Structure 1
Amino acid sequence: MFVRLLVPAALVLSVSLTAAPALAEPDFSVTAHRGAPTRTLGENTLPAFGRALADGATAIETDWRRTKDDKLVVLHDSGVGRTTNCAGPIGSWTLRDLVRKCRENTTKQPVLTAVESLTWAAENDASLMIELKGSNWSIEQVRAVVTLLKKSDVFEQVAVSSLRLTVLERVRRLAPRLDTQLIVSGWQKVRASLGKVQGYNVPAASLTKSRVKRLHRKGVIVVGGYADSPAQWGVLSRLGVDGIVTPSVREYATWADSAG
């Protein structure tokens, strides 16, 4: 059974899995960064998403960008050259041409669209952490994202993240019930934005137990951002965070079992 991602009362989503990490509390989230890709299952692809869930992920972190004609696609980079057989910035491609001409390097499938990622999440009862990539999201472009999420069957299982506070403030203005998470590299940005988002994605190096407790007292979710080693996982576990974002879900599960 799912609860909404990043709801302070419930902390983070709870999912029934066959291989939950031993150290994870029932509400501890393990979010697969870009779907926890492998050498043969590329990032932000449905096969990678499926494997991440099977390995113990409780949510999938993924990335949305806009095409030339303002359609939403699943892509981390600002360009298509690294992950597909095409080249150039995503803003130079229409959705029609992108789907017709470009293939992802490992699956040989067209670039995933935002609609397809939401459909997959609904079919697999999966939760998503959607990062809106880039800084230049107008209010109308954010409105298109919010409208798409409201029309989907997974609105209650989605959180929106960004490096930009202004983007998340626009999300909250249009959909106050939609969970938001600010990605930060240091504590200064947390102090400057308290009360404006429901949660933070913070690297272990910027956290202390007192900082985590301070945010918890305010009903704020604290997730350890991009944790990719046993050393980082151990630190975050001791700090009492509500979850981690990692590209190594299977390795984390193995570590958690042995550490527990």
Structure 2
Amino acid sequence: MTGYRPLVFAHRGGADALPEHTLGAYLRALEEGVDGLECDVRLTRDGHLVCVHDRNLSRTSNGRGLVSRRTLAQLDEFNYGSWHPGYPGDEEPSDLSRLLTLERLLEAVRGCGRRVRLLIETKHPSVYGAEVERRLVKMLRRFGLAEPKPDDPVQVTVMSFAALALRRIRAQAPGVPTVYLMELLPPMAGKARLPFGARIAGPSVELIRNRPGLVQAIRAAGHRTYVWTVNEPEDVEMVLRHQVDGVISDRPKFVLDRLAHL
């Protein structure tokens, strides 16, 4: 493994230590030295992109109902940290309890003063369909990230389980790298072919475990591999043996510490 070192991404900000998709979690991950961050985005009723994984609010907030049926102001009324064991119990709204918008996350990444890769997953199915990607590309353009430049410290990659979503990104922002996420192995992927618009394979760690030849086949086809969600010691060792290109983890500091001993 001489010279090998994968990128390490904080899944939802490093959801093991702090409440997922909160600004505090992302800032901590950056301080710990991750190469990049991963987030999920959904559209609110009034057209804002917010960093929330589930379509329903009940797991990660004290709210109820669908994200898509509420406005940004309504969503901002809830606490998004108190459910998590790592929540410090702040009574006043803080970076560990407030709803995080993609705009705020991009501002934080832009202002952190170092190179950061940001993986943005668009969640589908969505009642808003193609509007999710349209709004995302519009925001990336506003931040100057829709046409990647090699010397820009912030590099964005878009991910999705929906091949159609990646085609939309390819059509609207052809320079933005895309990851086709896989939980099960689609027929085409068995031969390491990815859907049109996808440039990187994003298999789950369970899929790699069950298909040990997949990473090699993907590499032979000329694609990179980002694996999610790699949390357990045995899974970290497995993906390192496969020499994957990116490790997406709820425990990014644990992965970084392991890489320090390579």
| TM-score normalised over the length of structure 2 | 0.80
| Amino-acid identity (%) | 25
Give the aligned partner of residue 166 of structure 1. 164
Of 181-190 and 89-98, more deviation after overlay is shown by 181-190
Residues 122, 132 of structure 2: 8 Å contact kept: no
Q: Which has the higher helix share?
A: 1
- Structure 1 residues 91 and 53, CA gap change in structure 2 (3 angstroms): same
Give the aligned partner of residue 53 of structure 2. 76
Alpha-carbon separation, structure 2, partners of 1:54 and 1:115: 20
Aligned ranges 1:166-205 → 2 under 5 Å: 166-188=164-186, 190-191=189-190, 193-205=194-206
- Cα RMSD after superposing both structures: 2.4
Give the aligned partner of residue 240 of structure 2. 237
Unaligned runs of 5+ in 1: 1-21
Give the aligned partner of residue 229 of structure 2. 226
Alignment equivalent of 2:11, drawn from 27, 30, 33? 33
Give the aligned partner of residue 252 of structure 1. 255
Unaligned runs of 5+ in 2: 82-86, 149-154
Runs of 4+ in 1 over 4 A off after TM superposition: none
Q: Shift of residue 151 of structure 1?
A: 1.2
Give the aligned partner of residue 117 of structure 1. 105
Alpha-carbon separation, structure 2, partners of 1:160 and 1:212: 20
Alpha-carbon separation, structure 2, partners of 1:236 and 1:129: 19
- 3-state secondary structure, aligned to 1:30: strand
- Structure 1 residues 38 and 167, CA gap change in structure 2 (3 angstroms): same
- 3-state secondary structure, aligned to 1:193: coil
- Structure 1 residues 87 and 23, CA gap change in structure 2 (3 angstroms): farther
Aligned ranges 1:87-102 → 2 under 5 Å: 87-99=64-76, 101-102=77-78
- Structure 1 residues 225 and 171, CA gap change in structure 2 (3 angstroms): same
- Structure 1 residues 214 and 69, CA gap change in structure 2 (3 angstroms): same
Residues 228, 246 of structure 1: 8 Å contact kept: yes
- 3-state secondary structure, aligned to 2:244: coil
Q: Shift of residue 95 of structure 1?
A: 1.1
- Structure 1 residues 153 and 47, CA gap change in structure 2 (3 angstroms): farther
Alpha-carbon separation, structure 2, partners of 1:83 and 1:120: 22
Aligned residues: 235
Q: Shift of residue 38 of structure 1?
A: 4.4
Residues 122, 154 of structure 1: 8 Å contact kept: no
Q: Shift of residue 24 of structure 1?
A: 7.6
- 3-state secondary structure, aligned to 1:32: strand
Residues 16, 251 of structure 2: 8 Å contact kept: no
Give the aligned partner of residue 11 of structure 1. none
Structure 1 residues 142-177: Cα deviation after superposition (integer angstroms, max 9, x where no partner): 211111111114453111111111111111111111
Q: Shift of residue 37 of structure 1?
A: 2.6
Residues 30, 57 of structure 1: 8 Å contact kept: yes
